Amino acid sequence: MSKTKKRPTLLLALIPVIFLTTLISINVFIFGDDSLSGSNQIVLILSASVAAIVAMSLGHSWLELRAGIVKSIGSAMTAILILLLIGSLAGTWLLGGIVPAMIYYGLQILNPTIFLVAACIVSAVVSLATGSSWSTVATLGVALLGIGSALGLPEGVIGGAIISGAYFGDKMSPLSDTTNLAPAMAGTDLFTHIRYMAWTTVPSISIALIIFLIIGLRSYSGSEYADITPVITAIDSTFTINPFLFLVPALVIFLIVRKVPALPALFIGTLAGAASALFFQPQIIEQVSQIDDKFHVAAYIAIMKAMYTDITVDTSHEMVNSLLSTGGMRGMLNTVWLIMCAMIFGGIMESSGLLKRITESVIKLAHNTGSLVTSTVGTCMFFNVTASDQYLSIVVPGRMFADTYRERGLKPQNLSRTLEDGGTVTSVLVPWNTCGATQSTVLGVSTLTFLPYAFFNIISPFMTIAFAYLNIRISRYKNKEEAQKDESFSV
């Protein structure tokens, strides 16, 4: 016999969320950056257990909750497969010299008279190529900070330029874990998310660049320009750098424009990166495989390693060495683990109606599209401040608002864009968030010092809210049938 299910009170529905945010905060305090290595995942499982206890006290059965978990994880399988494939793509693009070429040519645009603009653009290019704002800031960002300081510019504004560029590239890169996580939570596909996100992201970075240009032109002291030749030389002497390498990313872009599904497009890009290694980087193949004879064996080993495990290319420059490394598919497993644990928590919260109860209270304040997007941005920032983790600022609001956006006739790319504009980019502005704490420590500049100058990160949430209120690029369903059909997007 089925029990009568009780409607949860708001306080009861909030218990698992309060438990989650409290334990996450403790985790970050105790484990620091290492909290992403497993402890946050365990907290999500424990929070799911608390949610299950609350749900069962309301009359829900375990079989019902388990079905919700399976459904929730199933909805994220496309994102998980894409993440694994992106790990392989990043490996072959490093092996094939494509990522080094992007960094090499990006460094060429450094100019002392427009240093802040150049620093922002170079950080964006490198982060776009690597898919990681953290590695960009920790390597190239540190070097750029030294160059800017030599020019007599304040550390805060230099840090703001680096952070702005790094987070723009991270946000727009298909190699980024958050760029894959946001559409997975919202229910759209990766490339639709990136194309739609460009409408708010490009204006935001453009305004930031204009501000940096004005500051740079007024503040440049004419000091001697620090030499970046060793970095360029290290890349050039290790890899075979030429413009033909850009044919590989051009191919992937072409496939995206032709609306080829994400998985086939990324797989083709992975194979193209491997082909680039065979044609242009035989010396890198030998280095990674550690075999200097039997090239066919060396190529097989190097390409396989690039696709599934950690590889690092040794150059004559320590900073370049730390930048030119990837983790392959294995490097994505922590994020996959996080997604699955988040979907377990989300699955129980959804199937038990707890998430709906919380969302109803928030949505009562959202009477139109603008206020709905504003509520989403505010929720993302709330989790960045309370849970101290950018992933949770995407996961929880994504699960909270997914159905609401669809019910109001808004396609999921509206939500995925808002999650990134409100969650990803603001995480670094919170001193105790893992992102803010890490970037501050790496650069040696306090979060509150670079915060006023991280213009891209500040502008982005306001830009997405403005687009919503002005009804600019708000994608809507034509009818309810289209919305129902789009609930599960194709791979």
pLDDT in tens, 235-274: 899 999 999 998 988 888 788 667 777 788 889 989 999 9
| Whether pLDDT at 491 is above 50 | no
Among 330, 358, 374, the domain-final residue is 330
DSSP string, 141-202: IHHHHHHHHHTT--HHHHHHHHHHHHHHHHHH-TT-HHHHHHHHHHT--HHHHHHHHHHHHH
Whether the full predicted model's pTM is greater than 0.75, yes or no, is: no
| Domain assignment of residue 219, yes or no | yes
Q: Are residues 141 and 70 in the same domain?
A: no
Residue 225: helix, strand or coil by DSSP? coil
Decide if 207 contacts 117 (C-beta within 8 A). Answer: no
What three-state secondary structure class fits 487? Answer: coil
* Cα 75 to Cα 84: distance, rounded to the nearest angstrom: 16
Whether residues 305 and 401 share a domain: the answer is no
pLDDT attached to residue 84: 84
In terms of Cα–Cα distance, which of 363, 308, 315, 402 is closest to 72? 402
Model pLDDT, residue 185:
85
- Domain identity same for 410 and 443: yes
DSSP state of 410: B
**Residue 465 domain boundaries:** 10-75+332-485
Helix locations, 281-429, DSSP H = 282-289, 295-308, 318-323, 333-351, 354-363, 369-386, 390-407, 412-419
**Does 381 lie in the same domain as 346?**
yes
Query: Do 267 and 337 belong together in one domain?
Result: no
Instruction: Quote the CA–CA distance of 491 and 485 in Å, as a whole number.
Output: 14
Give the pLDDT band of residue 1 (cuts 50, 70, 90): very low
Residue 490 within any structural domain of the chain: no
51 and 99 co-located in one domain: no
Predicted local distance difference test score (pLDDT) of residue 490? 39
Is residue 400 a part of any domain in this protein?
Answer: yes
User: Domain check: are 19 and 91 in the same one?
Assistant: no
Quick one: 29 and 95 in the same domain? no
| Chain-centroid distance, C-alpha 245 | 25
pLDDT for residue 484: 62
Q: Are residues 264 and 405 in the same domain?
A: no
Same domain flag for 304 and 424: no
Which of the 8 DSSP states describes residue 472? -
Share of the chain above pLDDT 70, in %: 88
CA pair distance 447, 429, nearest whole angstrom: 6
| Domain assignment present for 39 | yes
* 20, pLDDT greater than 80: yes
In a domain, 53, yes or no: yes
Tokens representing 293?
């004879």
Q: Give pLDDT, residue 162.
A: 94
Domain co-membership, 185 together with 300: yes
Total domain count, the chain: 2
pLDDT by residue (tens digit) across 34-47? 776 788 889 889 99
Res 245: pLDDT? 92
Does a structural domain hold residue 245?
A: yes
